[in-house]
Amino acid sequence: MKDIVRQKIGINVDVMDLLNEQISKEAHSAAVYLAMASWCDHNGLTNSAEFFYKQSAEEREHMLKIFNFINDNGGTAYSPEVNNINHEYNSLQEIFETALDQEIQITKSINNIVTRCRKVQDYGSENFLQWFVQEQMEEENQFRRILEMFDLMGTDGIALKFIDERIKHD
Ligand code: FEO
């Protein structure tokens, strides 16, 4: 059965399975960032809210990029279920720390798929994933730069307002 499928699709079937898992992870990220945007909105942190609305939209774009890649190459992309979204946070710093942790996990996941691509010589999918490798470096750096502001300025009321004013999505 696998051999028949292999003839019809341009990507390795094991890689396709991992890409479908990645679709779920990107959808989960989009939902997590939307919850973070809501928290920021409710706490009067308008720039941070805007940042996470944009970040959430970007994650949905990432999801669709992979979704279209699978379907364009004869595979089947699966629409993901999203659950277990946390809406409770103690501070803006905690939110950005959580976001960085999430991005580090996504980077590991992308790297893992690239490793699989090389193992099975699926160079088309590897080439497709290079965009994500670059994107992850930029996203991690963006969150690290923001977290540095908390280290420099602290987390009290005035510092928090000051940091929020400086938060902009690239
Ligand atoms: Fe699309 Fe930031 O992972």
Q: What is the pTM of this model?
A: 0.93
Angle between helices 157-166 and 46-72 (to 10 degrees): 40
Residue 53 has pLDDT above 90, yes or no: yes
pLDDT class for 68, splitting at 50, 70, 90? very high
| CA 99 to ligand 1 centroid distance, Å | 10
What sign results for the dihedral spanned by CA atoms 153, 156, 158, 160? Answer: positive
pLDDT class for 7, splitting at 50, 70, 90? low
Give 73's Cβ-side CA count (13 Å radius): 20
In short, whether 25's Cβ falls inside 6 Å of ligand 1 is no
Mean pLDDT, the chain, rounded, equals 94
In short, whether 28's Cβ falls inside 6 Å of ligand 1 is no
The 8-class DSSP code of residue 11 comes to: S
Looking at ligand 1, which residue's alpha carbon is closest to its atom 2? 103
In short, whether 110's Cβ falls inside 6 Å of ligand 1 is no
Cα(81)–Cα(78) distance, rounded to whole angstroms? Answer: 9
| CA 106 to ligand 1 centroid distance, Å | 6
- pLDDT value of position 1: 56
In the chain, where are the structural domains located? Answer: 2-167
DSSP, collapsed to helix, strand or coil, labels residue 75 as coil
The verdict on domain 2-167 having CATH code 2.40.37.10 is no
- pLDDT value of position 3: 62
